Amino acid sequence: MTAVVIGASSGLGRALSVELARTGHAVLLVASDARDLAALAADLQLRHGVQVGTLALDLAVAADPGARVMEALAGLPTIRALLLPVGMSRSDDDGSLGPAAIGQLLAINLHAPIAVAHALLPALLESRAAIVGFGSIAGARGRSRNIVYAAAKRGLETFFESLRHRHLPTALRVQFYRLGFLRSNLTFGMKLPLPAAEPEVVARKVIAGLRKGSFDRYQPRWWGMIALIVRCLPWFAFRRMKD
């Protein structure tokens, strides 16, 4: 059975791809850089002997990413999971971005995951598969940083809630993880106010949970308590939070 990983080349997506291959899944790896994907595919094939497909695609500009993913699935075993760890943020996302930069953030964080999910939905339903999305603690409450990114992540969360509302877990397992900080490209060089999780640790939890029905949870779990506190803070105190 095949798992599709959108945003497979680094951070959590790479760790998920490694864990999927280690546990015997064929994988279709999707990201923007063909060389990164070829190197990862060769490594997974060599170390785990699984079938690996790759698709290099810039999701910021792809008109119909779902159709491209469907084409790339030809020749691979039946799809049993779609994982969407793709994401992109930028340090100047503070209300000053122009339309092109806003479009890029929305395309990568919201449009592409939804478009790919829509295109693959019939195949996912046919094989009673799992679809897994990734939100962010940044979406817990609107702040003056990561403005467009957080809006996209909250939109994605709503999309997954709609999927969960529409499909019984016996037909489609709909899983959504709201992530705290991860040690990855997105946080490289940043001074973080709380510890960052290792992508490999989160990936093991996500893959172990693939068969466990539909849900929406924080990962690591203790971020749920942080989000609750942040949401309960009175406005005057929340406004003073800078990090």
Ligand X SMILES: NC(=O)c1ccc[n+]([C@@H]2O[C@H](COP(=O)([O-])OP(=O)(O)OC[C@H]3O[C@@H](n4cnc5c(N)ncnc54)[C@H](OP(=O)(O)O)[C@@H]3O)[C@@H](O)[C@H]2O)c1
Instruction: Name the site residues for ligand X (rule: CB under 6 A).
Output: 7-13, 31-33, 36, 57-60, 85-88, 108, 134, 136-137, 179, 181-182, 184-187, 199
CB nearer to ligand X: pick between 28 and 59: 59
CB of 89 to ligand X, least distance (A): 6
Q: How many CB atoms lie within 10 A of CB 165?
A: 9
CB of 209 to ligand X, least distance (A): 16
CB of 85 to ligand X, least distance (A): 4
CB of 122 to ligand X, least distance (A): 23
CB nearer to ligand X: pick between 12 and 117: 12
CB of 188 to ligand X, least distance (A): 8
Q: DSSP code of 138? A: G
Residue of minimal CB distance from ligand X? 11
CB nearer to ligand X: pick between 13 and 53: 13
Question: CA of 164: how far to CAs of 117, 122, 156, 159, 167, in Å?
Answer: 13, 15, 12, 9, 6
CB nearer to ligand X: pick between 127 and 187: 187
The residue with tokens 């003073």 is: 240
CB nearer to ligand X: pick between 38 and 171: 38
From CA 154, how far away is CA 151, in angstroms rounded?
A: 5
From CA 151, how far away is CA 146, in angstroms rounded?
A: 8
* Start-end of H helices in 98-221: 99-106, 112-126, 147-166, 199-208
Residue pair 60/86 in contact (Cβ under 8 Å)? The answer is no
